[in-house]
Structure 1
Amino acid sequence: MLDTRLCLKSLSRWLSAAQAYWVELPDHPGLGFYGTGYNTWAVQTNQKFIAAAATMAVMDDRNTERNLSQALSALRYCLATHKTGPLPLTDGSRWGHTWISVLGLERMMYVFKLLDDHMTDQDKTDAKRVLTSEADWIAHDLERGGTKGVHASKWAKDGNNDPESHMWNGSFLWRIAQMYPDHENVTDWVKQSELLLFNAITTEADSDHELYVGPQFFENYALDHHGYMNVGYMVITLSNAAMLYFDLKHNDWPMPKHLTHNLEKLWRVTKKMVFADGRLARIGGDTRVRYAYCQEYLLHTMMMAADLFGDTHAMYLCASQLQTLLKEQNTNDDGSYYGSRLGYLIKTSPYYYTRIESDRACAVAAAMHYNQLVKWPGRGSMDFESDVAGLWVEAEHGDVIHRSPTRFASVSWHACGLGQAICQPPDDGNLAEWSSNLCSVVKFMGDQTSIQDLHPPHRDLEHYQIDGFDGGFATLGRIREGVNVPVKEGWQSTQLATLQQAFIALPDGQTLIGMHHCKTGEIRAYPTVIKGMHLNLPNDLYNGHQRTLNTPEDQLTLATETREDHAVQLNCKWVNIDHRVGVVGVYGADQLCIDRSVKRRGGPYQSLHVDELCYGYQNGAKNGVTPYSMILDIGFVIGSNINTQDTQELAKKTTHKSDGDLRTMQVMGADGRMYVACANFGVGTRTINCGSLWPSSIDAINLANGEKVKSDDRSFTIPGATAAVYLLDM
């Protein structure tokens, strides 16, 4: 079970901190709210506060009177300011009747039963007014993005990728039908609920079902929500199923038959994307605050997985996530969850800051409530890493993972910002920062965008290829850079360069090979930023505010704080990070360097201090380059779960060869076997003559297709824009 004492202590501290954002309305005694009292997200902020305060009022004896009073005051404000109510919100509007307006209600719905003895008859009448009005709107007038009705599409660009809202709207209708079974529209609610719940988690394999309206997910459950590989919204979809699931248990209500449609399949895929410390492995990145929002609602998802699917690792993962959030809370003297790390938001946007705070409070409160409903399974026969190990590929969307007990390796081409890779030990999520990780950054004169941008306007993904095999994968992606860049005053580019990046995860449970190749186009170009390789290194409270780097000549301690933006030249081509990750520059640059920033990076909300380890680095425009210039041509190796000595040995046992647009690297794997990795950055099929990289007495095997190459040949063909890897059969 979860340690409820820790949850109670955490929420008690948080509710004390939340008093700074509690507002009572003097003209309306008995009404109050947490946050700004505005519409949209602020409505949910207040509703999540209700969940936290009500849960503590019932389950804890600290400040019971205050918590109960504020829970009821906030609830009454919520009910009074609905479209059917008598009062406006503090921004002059009224909330409700949108595709998202019941999300906050769903997250707090369990408190209606907790508060039942404390609500007046008028409170209950008002609640019925609001809840049935929302149910009627969903059943009869549902609209999202200008489209009415229930729809689905797997690509966000086509519109109607709505898995999470289908789940929460369908769940809401079902529960309201149980709460008010004699209502005149209950039949409509149930019918629409069934349609929404079935179509919350669909793939094209469901197309024969009579309720099917389209796929929300790809064949292997990748999700393109918001236009990128969105692990977070896979969790949001699951978590809303969990909220209904536990409320059904709590109230002894029947379960809708489509609530569990594809639910366990989605959980099994999502589980592969959870680090062993409970942090989500956001293989496609994240557009919001690190360690927040979607991460919070993983708690509910894992609790459902334990009870519904008998997942034997869920309790351990829940406990790990709880320890992570407590670690941050303990750094804040006021008891808030994010007061130090997101302190600037307090000054610039109380609207957003209170939203983030209330998500975590709501998640902890609901977890405490659900805890008593969970039948936690005993210890299973398989450990966590063995359970999630192996290959996962979503070729159509451009995503791949290979996971083993010693390495989490992934690449996502439709990531936030286009292109993101990971190679690290799977037990330490604090090593991970998503933004263009392990993908080179190239910018040109006039480009004012950030790598944090969801859809960079000056980049286009042209092509990607993925081949998975037992123990690893090979993939190559091609991105157009410098597209439609305006330069003041009056000039605009078309396309300035092509960036191609190849990644090969060897079947040794340790090694990821990278080869990056960027050539300018037919006009003179002015690169302003080049950050080759671009390995993000989080350096914030979760790692104790420092990183230790070992190089051939020195040991360097990087403290979080730095007085100025600057680059640290390492004067070497290999480095080991905290005795966990090794980085070896193989060809194309003289040395590794670290780009440091005074401000936090970590997404558009600047939520995490991050140092950027680069191989091939330029900061500032020079005199330009001639057409068809190679501005980045690098090869590197990342070793996961590797110490300093092994990093040094890896550097010694790696060689390379270049021939036109062909790049070849020979790497000794951690398994003692020799591999030849290849990338064809050209257009047509080419023959690679390996020469000295391939001893004359040894045959080779193409790991992707099993093709054997005899030693007397020592060459092989590779199509254009493709990466491949061969095992030398020694």
Structure 2
Amino acid sequence: MSETMALQEKNYVDVMRPWLKVLPQFTRQSLFNPSLRHYGTGESAHWPIQSNFNVFAALAVLGTSPHLEDEKPAMAREEIIRTALDFLRYGLATHLSGHDVASDGKQWGHHWISVLGLERMAHGVNAIREYLSDDDRMALRRVLISEADWITDNHPVRGCMVNSEGPNVPESNIWNGAVLMRTAAAYPDAPRVKEYLTKATSFMLNGLSHPLDAGCETMFYGKPVRKWHVGFNYTPNWSLDHHGYLNVGYMVICLSNLAMLHFYFKDLGLTPPPELTWHLQEVWAMVKKCTFADGRLLRIGGDTRARYTYCQNYAIPSWMLAQDVLGDSDAAGFEAGWLKIMQQEQDYTGTGGFYGRRLDNIRRINYYYYSRLESDAILCLSYGAYWHRRFQLLALTTPAVVNMPVSWQDEYHGATFERSGNAVRSFVWHGGQGPTGVIAPADESSMGEWQLNLHGEVLSTQTPALNYGNSDWHELFHGGFVNVGAADWCERDPLGEGEGVYAYARHQIAVAALPDQETMLVLQYATISKEITLDAIKGFGVKVPNDLFNGSKRRYMTADGTCLELTGNPGCADDRHLAADRVCVDGKLAVFALYGAEGLTIHRPAKAQIILHKPHGPWLSSLYADEICGKVVLENQRYTPGTVVLDDGFAVAVSGDLKAECDAELSADSTVRQATFTRGNKTWGFAANFGSTTASVAVPAGAFVLAGSSELAPGGALLWQQSLI
């Protein structure tokens, strides 16, 4: 091992080692076979099985690391290896091909996701191979061949671009294909190897699959891609509708499983199969665009899971794949940056674990989920440790701001995305928690958030949700975009017998990213469509994370010099009203009221409100955020159809400069809204038609239209720019 390789491995081991202190609280003895131990809850369901294998692999890597004793570990090397073997043996013994049962009295295996834990632990098997007994080797062969046979005979290769219309399954196609390839490589004497490899090629080529594959003539094993093609999982613009929204996180999961297979083959001294890299470059290019310089994912379509845990951690193997196959040096910077953030998370928790403090509510309410999240974190660190031990990869360097101009849109998701200067700006209608916008400095990832961001909220008393919206119209132009559309607020879980899930408010939003590399303008209009009881109405809605990643402190400055330093998660409601129409956050993000508000309010709820968006169960939160609002109504009131509950406009800029002129034209007899924003020697005008009839808007002399038309159809918008002399 070279000196550079040793140093990179040590970087990971130093973060892994403290986790040994919390391992005993997750370790259980089998109720059915006292000779077996397992991690976490131990059921036959796929999450506990995956978690158990995750921790086996992490311990296998840590227990065989030459750096383990650089600092005194909480467990001796022999105990780490013994625990790793116990966890492995539990997983293999409780499979359908074995003779034991899991903690719920059942066995696991033979379904679409049953091999995922086996794939994710493969490097751990290689790391600890010299400690495996003959019985261990036979058990591993038994399980892998049993799963490979079942997949070959029973699991179809599938694909569909739109999640609501069919199976959007790029990631499971990849891991099922990968286990077939890995089993064939490990056991070339298995009787069905040729069948495994044929089915595996079909799975792999239908992983990162694209509409053009249906006519592609590129050959694999004597057949063109079009004959292997079953369905496409990615849109023409390389977005992914996994779980029913623009899901950057699962693009990463796809890449992570390709990485596991790639490095497994290299570890055995074998050439990775060519289908492994099919469309790798295109998907990586999209993922890279959606990554901050420090490695934090820029999830322009939002997230339905706990912030910065599962998909984020699996970016580690994805980055290593991008380095080794594509030679992308920026990926090493992402890797280094995220390793520092994981260390920050661990230090914040203070026990050696990763999420015991920030995700304390998940830990207290759902141990099943919490133990899974901890296992993913330690597993993903083990990829970094082991693969840097085995392979000469790029040195981890302190990340710098990545100069990555992006101008991108996607029709299906109603998505627009602009990345230029030091600003990332986007708006997506088909997001994880409904329509969402993002604006943040490219060099300050802790300011990125996407839960109901850049628009107001109309919250009923019964689990309100903003449905996926539709973009009536969006357009890119040089340096910016306009995106206009509407969505409905609804009640997800009505309580009354016979009470339907109905829409109660129509929310129209118009967004413009200006060609100044820093500013977004937002106009919105919402009306009640069915009589409803509301708990809260919040205008504007600029989410500012205020949690451990920014040191749990934000500094708010108004134009008159008023300064507030606010700590995150105050533990009680702590709203702050500012008698000002503009405020700057940490000297990096400026918010301006254009119309519809008397001053600004920093809404600070009593507890973390960035939630896991699950269909049922208690609300579980994973991050605290301040909310910069205009109008704020927190009274329980009944509203009748036709009531206008939101009618406002605001601007947000990646800037510390509060010098700007804001103006608006509001007509009492029209629902056309117009606003102007002047900074320096340029004025921009933005108008949107929230009504039902066509209207005209005058463009000033000397101005030119950037997007839209002065004849505004319903749902139309106009953006113009004028240079001042």
- Taking structure 1 as the reference length, the TM-score comes to 0.90
- Work out the CA distance in 2 between the residues paired with 1:432 and 1:529: 24
- Say yes or no: does 1:593 pair with 2:601: yes
From 701, 710, 713, the counterpart of 2:704: 701
Distance 1:400 1:70, change over 3 A: same
Partner of 1:106: 119
- After superposition, give the CA deviation of every residue in 1:391-450 in whole Å (9 maximum; x if it has no partner): 011122211110013110011100012100011101111112221111211134xx4115
User: Shift of residue 29 of structure 1?
Assistant: 5.4
Kindly indicate whether the alpha-carbon contact (under 8 Å) linking 2:423 and 2:441 is maintained by their aligned counterparts in 1.
Answer: yes
SS state of the match for residue 200, structure 1?
A: coil
* Alignment equivalent of 1:126, drawn from 124, 139, 143: 139
Q: Which residue of 2 aligns with 1:680?
A: 689
Contact 1:235–1:297 (CA<8 Å) still a contact in 2? Answer: yes
Once residues 494 and 606 of structure 1 are traced to their aligned partners in structure 2, the CA distance between those partners, rounded to angstroms, is 25
Provide closer, same or farther for how the CA distance between residues 379 and 35 of structure 1 changes in structure 2, counting only shifts above 3 A: closer
What pairs up with 1:18-167 in 2 under 5 angstroms? Answer: 18-25=23-30, 28=33, 30-39=35-44, 40-60=46-66, 61-62=68-69, 63-142=76-155, 149-167=156-174
Within the alignment, does 1:213 sit opposite 2:230 as a pair?
yes
- Give the distance between the partners of 2:713 and 2:263, measured in 1 at CA: 52
Residues 36 and 664 of structure 1: CA distance in aligned 2, closer, same or farther (over 3 Å): same
Shift of 1:598: 2.3
Q: Give the equivalent residue in structure 2 for 1:615.
A: 630
C-alpha distance in 2, partners of 1:396/1:217?
11
Write the distance in 2 (CA, Å) between the matches of 1:285 and 1:459. 13
- Which amino acid is 1:13 matched to? P
Counterpart selection for 1:177 from 172, 184, 190 = 184
390-399 or 224-233: which moved more? 390-399
Task: Output the CA distance in 1 between the equivalents of 2:61 and 2:468.
Answer: 48
Partners in 2 of 1:668 and 1:728 — Cα distance? Answer: 9
Deviations 1:531-551 (A, max 9, x none): 112111211111111111112
CA drift of 1:69 comes to 0.4
Instruction: Give the drift of 1:568.
Output: 2.3
Residues 664 and 674 in structure 2, CA contact (< 8 A), matched pair in contact too: yes
Q: 2:568 aligns with which of 560, 580, 593?
A: 560
Separation in 2 of the partners of 1:616 and 1:131? 59
Q: 1:258 to 1:543 in 2, by over 3 A?
A: same
Q: Is 2:256 aligned against 1:239?
A: yes
Which residue pairs with 1:329 in the alignment? Answer: 346
Distance 2:24 2:503 in 1: 53
Does the Cα contact within 8 Å between 2:401 and 2:443 map onto a contact in 1?
A: no
* Cα deviation digits, residues 657-694 of structure 1 (max 9, x gap): 23412122222256x4222222122234421024xxx3
Cα distance between partner residues in 1 of 2:400 and 2:554: 29
Cα deviation for residue 719 of structure 1 reads 2.9
Q: Note the alpha carbon deviations across 1:303-349, whole angstroms, 9 max, x for none.
A: 11111111121111100000000011112332111121122333322
**Cα distance between partner residues in 1 of 2:625 and 2:11:** 30
Q: Is the 8 A contact 1:201 1:261 kept in 2?
A: yes
Contact conserved, 1:680 with 1:723, CA < 8 A, in 2? yes
RMSD between aligned residues: 2.3
Contact 1:38 1:89 in 2 (8 A): yes
1:505 aligns with 2:517: no
Find the aligned partners of 2:331 and 2:470 in 1 and give their Cα distance. Answer: 39
- Pair 717,238 (structure 1): closer, same or farther in 2 beyond 3 Å: same
Q: Mapping of 1:525-674 within 5 angstroms?
A: 526-553=533-560, 554-604=562-612, 605-622=620-637, 624-625=639-640, 627-640=641-654, 642-643=655-656, 646-647=657-658, 649-650=659-660, 653-659=661-667, 660-669=670-679, 672-674=681-683
Determine which of 489, 494, 504 is the counterpart of 1:481.
489
Check 1:379–1:36 CA distance in 2 against 1; reply closer, same or farther (3 A cut). Answer: closer
Q: Tell me the secondary structure at the aligned position of residue 721 of structure 1.
A: coil
1:524 CA drift (Å):
5.4
* d(CA) in 2 for partners of 1:562, 1:332: 18
SS in 2 for 1:322: helix
1:212 CA drift (Å): 1.0
Deviation larger for 276-285 or 559-568 = 559-568
* Runs (5+) with no aligned partner, structure 2: 70-75, 216-225, 613-619
CA distance in 1, matches of 2:390, 2:322: 13
Q: Match for 1:244: what amino acid?
A: L
1:459–1:483 Cα contact (<8 Å) kept: no
Classify 1:307/1:459 alpha carbon distance in 2 versus 1 (closer, same or farther; 3 Å): closer
The 2-side partners of 1:544 and 1:69 are apart by 39
- Between the aligned partners of 1:614 and 1:389, the Cα distance in structure 2 is 30
1:427 pairs, out of 430, 434, 443, with: 443
Going from structure 1 to structure 2, the CA distance change for 1:12 and 1:469 (only over 3 Å counts) comes to same
Quote the offset at 1:67 in angstroms: 0.9
Query: 1:497-536 CA deviation, whole Å, 9 max, x = no partner?
Result: 3210011000111100000111234x65554321112111
The change in CA–CA distance for 1:728 and 1:7 in structure 2 (over 3 A counts) is: same
| AA partner of residue 621 (structure 2) | Q
Task: Describe the shift of the 1:385–1:674 C-alpha distance in structure 2 as closer, same or farther (beyond 3 A).
Answer: farther
Partner of 1:146: none
2:17 maps to which of 1, 12, 22: 12
1:727 matches 2:721 = yes
Aligned ranges for residues 363-382 of structure 1 at < 5 Å? 363-376=380-393
Which residue identity lines up with residue 662 of structure 1 in the other structure? V
Greater CA deviation, 123-132 or 55-64? 55-64
CA deviation profile, 1:541-582 (whole Å, cap 9, x unmatched): 111111111123411111124242353222222111111100
Equivalent-residue separation in structure 2 for 1:93 and 1:567 (angstroms): 51
| 2:239 aligned partner | 222
Q: Which residue of 2 aligns with 1:249?
A: 266
Q: Distance in 2 between matches of 1:391 and 1:172?
A: 37
With 572-581 and 253-262 compared, the bigger mean Cα shift is at: 253-262
Q: Which amino acid aligns with 1:24?
A: Q
> Per-residue deviation at 1:159?
2.2
Partner secondary structure for residue 213 of structure 1: coil
Report SS of the residue matched to 1:607. strand
2:201–2:275 Cα contact (<8 Å) kept = yes
Alignment partner, residue 713 of structure 1: none
Question: Secondary structure in 1 aligned to 2:372?
Answer: helix
Question: SS of 2:104's equivalent?
Answer: coil
How far residue 383 of structure 1 moved from its aligned partner, in angstroms, is: 7.5
State the secondary structure of the residue aligned to 1:278.
coil
Give how far 1:597 is off.
2.1
CA distance in structure 2 between the partners assigned to 1:199 and 1:363 by the alignment? 25
Distance 1:92 1:257 in 2: 42
**Equivalent residue number for residue 72 of structure 2:** none
Confirm or deny: 8 A CA contact 1:37 1:89 kept in the other structure. yes
Superposed displacement of residue 485, structure 1: 8.3
Matched, 1:351 2:368: yes
Shift in alpha-carbon separation, 1:191–1:413, aligned structure 2, 3 A? same
Query: What's the CA shift string for 1:208-247, capped at 9, x where partnerless?
Result: 1111111101111111111111111010001111111111
* Preserved contact between residue 657 and residue 663 of structure 1 (Cα < 8 Å): yes
Task: Find the aligned partners of 1:383 and 1:490 in 2 and give their Cα distance.
Answer: 57
State the alpha-carbon separation in 2 of the partners of residues 433 and 9 from structure 1. 30
Residue 304 of structure 2: SS of its match in structure 1? Answer: coil
- SS of the counterpart of 1:59? coil
Q: Secondary structure at the match of 2:131?
A: coil
Deviation at 1:701?
2.6
In structure 2, C-alpha distance between the alignment counterparts of 1:331 and 1:360, rounded to whole Å: 15
The alignment's TM-score, normalised by the length of structure 2, stands at 0.91
Distance between the aligned counterparts of 1:615 and 1:491, measured in 2? 33
Judged with a 3 Å threshold, the aligned counterparts in structure 2 of structure 1 residues 493 and 282 are, in CA distance, closer, same or farther, namely closer
The answer for the alignment partner of 1:710 in structure 2 is none
